């Protein structure tokens, strides 16, 4: 999966970024390297869905895919 990210310079120093394709997904970092690391974590967290909240029957299956 490829996502476009908008990187902004923070007024107080460092950077912050947002992922327009994922509502509410944003993070910050003191430098670009830290920002990129935080972006991966933010995207993963925004896309994660707790399976406990999903109703499934005994015949349903859970499959994890990479896109």
CA dihedral 2, 43, 23, 64 (to 10 degrees): 80
Q: Report the distance separating Cα 41 and Cα 63, nearest Å.
A: 21
- Residue 49's domain spans which residues? 6-53
Note whether residue 1 is domain-resident.
no
- When divided into structural domains, the chain yields a total of 1
Note whether residue 64 is domain-resident.
no
Note whether residue 59 is domain-resident.
no
Read off the pLDDT of residues 23-59 as tens digits, 9 standing for 90 and up: 999 999 999 999 999 999 999 999 987 777 778 889 9
Residue found under tokens 């910050």: 28
Mean pLDDT of the residues in the chain: 91
Q: Report the distance separating Cα 67 and Cα 59, nearest Å.
A: 25
pLDDT (0 to 100) of residue 67: 62
13: pLDDT confidence band, cut at 50, 70 and 90? very high
Q: Report the distance separating Cα 9 and Cα 7, nearest Å.
A: 7
Note whether residue 25 is domain-resident.
yes
The SS3 assignment for 17 reads strand
Note whether residue 15 is domain-resident.
yes
pLDDT (0 to 100) of residue 61: 84
Residue found under tokens 């990187």: 7
15: pLDDT confidence band, cut at 50, 70 and 90? very high
Note whether residue 65 is domain-resident.
no
């Amino acid at each position: 999966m490829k996502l476009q990210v908008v990187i902004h310079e923070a007024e107080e120093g460092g950077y912050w970024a947002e992922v327009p394709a994922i509502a509410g997904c944003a993070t910050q970092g003191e430098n670009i390297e830290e920002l990129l690391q935080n972006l991966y974590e933010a995207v993963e967290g925004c896309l994660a869905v707790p399976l406990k909240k999903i109703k499934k029957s005994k015949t349903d299956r859970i499959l994890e895919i990479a896109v």
